[in-house]
Amino acid sequence: MNALISCMADSPYISEVDLIPLELVKTGITGLDTLLKGGFVKGSTILISGNYGVGKTLFALQYAFHQASKGDKVLYVSTSEPVFKVKQFASNLDFYDESLIYSEYRDITQKKDKAVKGTIEFVESSLGIITGIHYTDESSLIEEIRNMVEGKGIQHLIIDPITTITMLYESEAVMRKDVLLMGAWLTRLGCTVLLTAEESDLKLLDVEKYLSDCVISLSSRMDDHEREFLITVQKQRGNKQNMNSHIYTFDRSGITVIHDMSYMERPDIMESQASTGIDKLDELMGGLRYGSSWILSIDDRIHYEPVFSAILSAGLDANEGIVYSPPSKFSFNGIKDLLSRFSIDIIKECKDGNAFFVDYYGRKVPDELKNFVIESYPEAEDLRIFARDKYGIIESGEVRDHWRILSNLNGEYNVYEPAGLRDRYSKNLSRVRERGDIYFSYCNFDEIDERTAEFLRTSCDGIIELYVKGKYQYLKVTKSPGGLMSSEHVIVPLDKKPFIKLMQK
């Protein structure tokens, strides 16, 4: 439902929607809620996937005890280990609290805190057996879980792992239907469902990821002869998330997610916000900051004109000057027509000293633009001063505080060669950060050498990928100053400014 509401709000056919505020569930996993922008969406289904030994059961137990400690009722279904083994493992953890354990359909313990009414009920499902009762098929097992959740007022259901149950199904279609119906029914009750799954079973995992609202991957790798553990939020419907991989550690105290340097405070020059002219893109980028540099990764098939025009138009609307190095396929008259759709009179903006072009292809330049086509991004403190000194124009007028550059890196690569491009890009980054300008560049990385491509990817603050699959165009943010990465969004054409809209698949 939360995902549906989010889609409704993004729809170009709905002008106004009264959004229901999201209710978030704190996970109790140190550092994870920050990546999730507050926690899991209440009533959602979460999949924790990973290979053996990465801490899936520890994650599930830490989540369970945290929810119970807040006063919620938790049903923990163990499908691969006897309950006594799960409890034995849990009893060695720092957050274990015997008073929260509910057993045999009745509370057999005295609560340490009488005000706390949360419980964790552990039940066992081992190849069709749950709490000592035998079932004739896997559907009746899921039905019994549903009955327990409804009858006991369960707010959090944990199945560890779901893989064992899904393996019982001979038909993948029947399994999808049963689990999907259970998830939909539990969501209506407001029950949050946490599933663990083995990463090694790819066929089953695809089904489970499809059914889940949030997917978190736990993995490990060898680094300098030491094992390093990584957590990645791969998907979360209805709320933002940081999709970068982060290191995590685990011990008796539980799992701790370690944030990377993107969470460190940025210099003041990076705090002032601008806009791309596309609201959803601003959100995916974590905001557009003055003093930042971005690369638009493109290929020859993408129609990037609306994105470029929106970025330039937003700069002029914000009282910024613009410097634009157009793609080779555009003529200056074509550029003038494109920008006119955004109500930009580019000839007037140039004559007012607010816009300049950089041309690497020797295009025919209209007479009215000849004074405004320059060889490269100038080093002058203000481009008005540059225009006055070079051309004797712009005698008066308001000086622009910031400039927005949209640079053609493939054009620079062909003119200045790889070493020259790397040197120019480094100098431009320094000037942009010093002045507080905004530096957009676009590049087809397939057309440059790998060393230069890696240099550019590493040096910039953010990367926005534009690409084509089938008959549709897509966009996603793969790097940003704040560490955010976005999921794939479809570029939807509109008939009014900014002429495109981004919608999550």
Of the segments 357-366, 392-401, 454-463, which one has the largest average pLDDT value? 454-463
Tell me the CB-side half-sphere exposure of residue 360, using CA atoms within 13 A: 20
Looking at residue 389, its pLDDT comes to 62
**CA separation (Å) from 17 to 1, 7, 281, 498?**
14, 11, 20, 21
According to CATH, where is 3.40.50.300 located in the chain? 23-263, 268-504
> 277's torsion region: left (phi>0), alpha (psi -120 to 50) or beta?
left
CB 438 within 8 Å of CB 461: no
Cβ–Cβ under 8 Å, residues 342 and 322:
no
- Count the alpha carbons within 13 Å of 272 in the hemisphere toward its beta carbon: 12
CA 281 from chain centre, in angstroms, equals 11
Please report, as a single letter, which amino acid is at residue 177: K
Q: How many CA atoms lie within 13 A of 281 on its CB side?
A: 29
Query: Can you read off the two tokens belonging to residue 193?
Result: 């469902």
- CA-based angle 322:328:332, to the nearest 5? 55
Tell me the C-alpha distance between 276 and 15, whole Å: 21
- Place domain 23-263 in its CATH homologous superfamily: P-loop containing nucleotide triphosphate hydrolases (3.40.50.300)
What percent of the chain is modeled with pLDDT above 90? Answer: 43
pLDDT band at 109 (very low <50, low <70, confident <90, very high): very low
Give the per-residue pLDDT at 505.
72
CA distance 220 to 501: 38
In CATH, the architecture of 268-504 is 3-Layer(aba) Sandwich (3.40)
Between the CA of residue 180 and those of 91, 177, 237, what are the distances in Å?
33, 5, 16
For the four alpha carbons of 282, 16, 316 and 319, in that order, the dihedral sign comes to negative
Give the per-residue SS3 of 195-236. EEEECCCHHHHHHHHHHCCEEEEEEEEEECCEEEEEEEEEEE
User: What value does the mean pLDDT take over residues 114-118?
Assistant: 63
Closest CA to 325 of 412, 246, 254: 412
* pLDDT for residue 388: 59
Which helix (H) or strand (E) covers residue 317, if one does?
A: helix 305-317
Residue 291 near residue 483, CB atoms below 8 Å: no
**Structure confidence at residue 375 (pLDDT):** 72
pTM for this entry:
0.57
Mean pLDDT over the full length of the chain: 81
> What is the arithmetic mean of pLDDT over 250-271?
69
Rounded to an integer, the average pLDDT of 87-111 is 77
Residues with Cβ within 8 Å of residue 407, at least 6 apart in sequence = 323, 325, 358, 377, 428, 439, 440, 441, 442
The rounded distance, in Å, linking the Cα atoms of 127 and 469 is 42
Tell me the pLDDT tens digit for each residue of 448-457: 999 999 999 9
- Give the whole-angstrom CA distance, residue 164 versus residue 80: 7
Tens digits of residue pLDDT in 124-145? 775 444 444 444 455 566 777 7
Q: What is the largest CA-CA distance in the chain?
A: 91
- pLDDT over 60 at 335, yes or no: yes
Per-residue confidence band for 465, with pLDDT thresholds at 50, 70 and 90? very high
Q: Which two tokens stand for residue 402?
A: 């910031």
Scan for tokens 């997917």, then name that residue. Answer: 215
| Mean pLDDT on 427-452 | 92
**Residue type for position 436:** G
What residue has token string 């896997």?
138
pLDDT at position 315 over 70:
yes
Exposed, middle or buried: residue 384 (CB in 10 Å: 0-12, 13-18, 19+)? buried
Is the pLDDT at 504 greater than 50, yes or no?
yes
Mean pLDDT in residue range 354-378 = 85
Whole-Å CA distances, 119 to 57, 77, 97, 200: 18, 14, 10, 32
